[in-house]
Structure 1
Amino acid sequence: MVRLFQFVILVTGLSLVALASAIVTMRFAIHGAEIMIPSFKGLTSEEALEKAASLGVAMTIDQRFYSAEVPAGRILTQSPAPGSVVRREWHIRAAESLGPQLRPVPNLVGLPQRAATMELRRLGLEPGSIARLPLNGVSPETVIAQDPSGGAAGVAEPTVNVVVAVAAPPSTISFAMPDFVGQPYATAAATISRAGLKLASIEPAMTVTSLADPAKPPGTVTNQSPAAGYRVDAETQIELTVAR
């Protein structure tokens, strides 16, 4: 019985030792797969890429900014920041310095969008986003605004966004339908004509139906369509019923 008890204790002890050994081995494996990110700032792009590869991490240089402190072609910023602990094969993103801004942003307002793009590329700048705004009185695809503005200096990045004009859709002016019931037909017709010329630039079409009504003087409007208060425009067919 004593021997059996000793055997159980021995097996239990060996199991605990094996478990502890596995935990330690796992910790070494995990920590062995982790690295501390160094600073890449100031390195050339080639040096930074080589250093990242030697550490077992990937690097992408996907942004470029002006900097008066870091020479052109060298790393300006990075993410994750220096000192961060990451696993091997982690992906580092970096920004490259373009050096100081050497010339102000050109004025593109008034240029066709294509010509503006060519001008930016000629100066070593990058065309950014293009927004379109319906606007009459300006040739379509003409630059009407930009960011940064023309002549700007000290900007952070070489990207210039523009707004270009596009043809505005024809607008329809509408107004509330007056109440013509009880008015003489001549008065109603004159009002419709004046309103059409003033608000819609063309005279609304009008259909007149004569109806015998002893309670209304001849030539008086007894009904109308659309009814008073409805929104109408130059395309609306206005129908008047007139007593005879």
Structure 2
Amino acid sequence: MKRKIQFVFTVLCMLVVMLVSAALTLRVALHGHEVTVPDLAGETIPEASTSALRSGVDLYIQNKYYSTTVPAGRVLSQAPASGSRVRHGWQVRVTVSLGPQEVTIPNVVGLPVREASMAVRRDQLDLGTLAHLDAPGDPEMVLAQTPPPNAGVDQPRVSLLLSSNAANASSAFVMPSFAGMGFPAANRAAIALGLRVAAIGEMPQPQPTPQVAGTPGPGGTLLDANGQAIPKPAPIYPAGPVTAQLPESGHRASRGDVVKLYFGNYRPGGGSSASATSGAPGGNSSQGPSH
């Protein structure tokens, strides 16, 4: 009996030793190859790559942002932070500075998505999220963009809202925002949705044009003595970008509805010295420029 007790005690001791050894081995395996994350802020990408390799971590460029304080091509931020303890081979994600913003956000509203994508990439910008909205008219047309044209941005990325004419699409849709757009771009976007535009704002005084005699030509044009088409007077648009609209963005709208676009210092409920109304495709324009 005594021998049996000694045998069981010996087995238990061996099991305890094995468990302790396994725990120590696991701890060494998990923490024995830990390294310290270096400080990469302000370094160029080659310098950051060398620092990461020397410290035993991997470098991954996750984002690019414009910055007025960090020169282009240098690390703007990192994660994990410098001084953190991570496993050997851990991935350190960095954001690279693009320097001050030097590009202008193009206006692609009203363009097909292919042309809009080319315009965005031509200006060395990235194409962001592409969302779709059931809307009448041609599919894959840009209804709105974020950020708006000529806006100051943090990232070189432009997201687009595209039209879709799904088989079960109704004539109702969500009113987009026209804020920041000039009249031509806002008018094109509204017409693509089947809306009619009432532009409210100060209308520039038309420049007097000399009367030129001509002969009728094809398509209602006038031809001069040399048979060349006489240019038509340039259309007159409200000055400045859209500052307000009715209905506001996010409201329910339907094809044929009128959206009031306010320019300059004009606001809903205020007065206006002139306004122009344009129709949807196939419609007639009333006072103001024709489209």
TM-score class, shorter: 0.5 to 0.7
Distance 1:111 1:85, change over 3 A: same
Q: Which amino acid aligns with 1:39?
A: D
**For residues 141 and 51 of structure 1, do their structure 2 counterparts lie closer, same or farther at Cα, with a shift above 3 Å needed?**
same
Instruction: Report the equivalent of 1:139.
Output: 138
Residue 106 of structure 2 aligns to a residue in which SS? coil
Alignment RMSD:
2.9
2:153 is the counterpart of 1:130: no
1:44 and 2:44 correspond: yes
- Unaligned residue ranges in structure 1 (runs of 5+): 1-19, 174-244
Q: Per the alignment, in what secondary structure is the counterpart of residue 46 of structure 1?
A: helix
- Counterpart code for 1:96: V
Cα separation, partners in 2 of 1:23 and 1:71, compared to 1, 3 Å: same
Q: Residues 24 and 109 (structure 1 numbering): CA distance in 2 closer, same or farther, change over 3 Å?
A: closer
Which one has a bigger Cα radius of gyration? Answer: 1
Q: SS of the counterpart of 1:63?
A: strand
- 1:158 CA drift (Å): 0.6
Check conservation: 2:125, 2:157, Cα contact below 8 A. Answer: yes
User: What amino acid maps onto 2:130 in structure 1?
Assistant: I
Bigger helix share: 1
In the alignment, the residues of structure 2 paired with residue 135 and residue 27 of structure 1 have an alpha-carbon distance, to the nearest angstrom, of 60
Residue of structure 1 aligned with 2:156, choices 152, 155, 158 = 158
Q: Structure 2: state its 5+ residue gaps.
A: 1-19, 172-291
| Structure-1-length-normalised TM-score | 0.56
* Count of matched residue positions in the alignment of Structure 1 and Structure 2: 153
The CA distance in 1 between the partners of 2:135 and 2:34, in whole Å, is: 57
Q: TM-score, normalised by structure 2?
A: 0.47
Q: How does 1:1-244 map to 2 (within 5 A)?
A: 32-136=32-136, 138-153=137-152, 155-169=153-167
Cα offset for 1:169? 3.5
Residue type of the alignment partner of 1:62: Q
CA distance in structure 2 between the partners assigned to 1:171 and 1:64 by the alignment: 38
User: Do the aligned residues in 2 keep the contact of 1:134 with 1:169 (CA within 8 Å)?
Assistant: no
Sort the Cα spacing of 1:24 and 1:129 in 2 relative to 1 into closer, same or farther, 3 A.
Answer: closer
Instruction: State the distance in 1 between where 2:76 and 2:49 align.
Output: 14
Deviation, 1:31, is 5.7
CA distance in 2 between counterparts of 1:31 and 1:170 reads: 58
Three-state SS of the structure 2 residue aligned to 1:145 is: strand
CA distance in 2, matches of 1:29, 1:126: 42
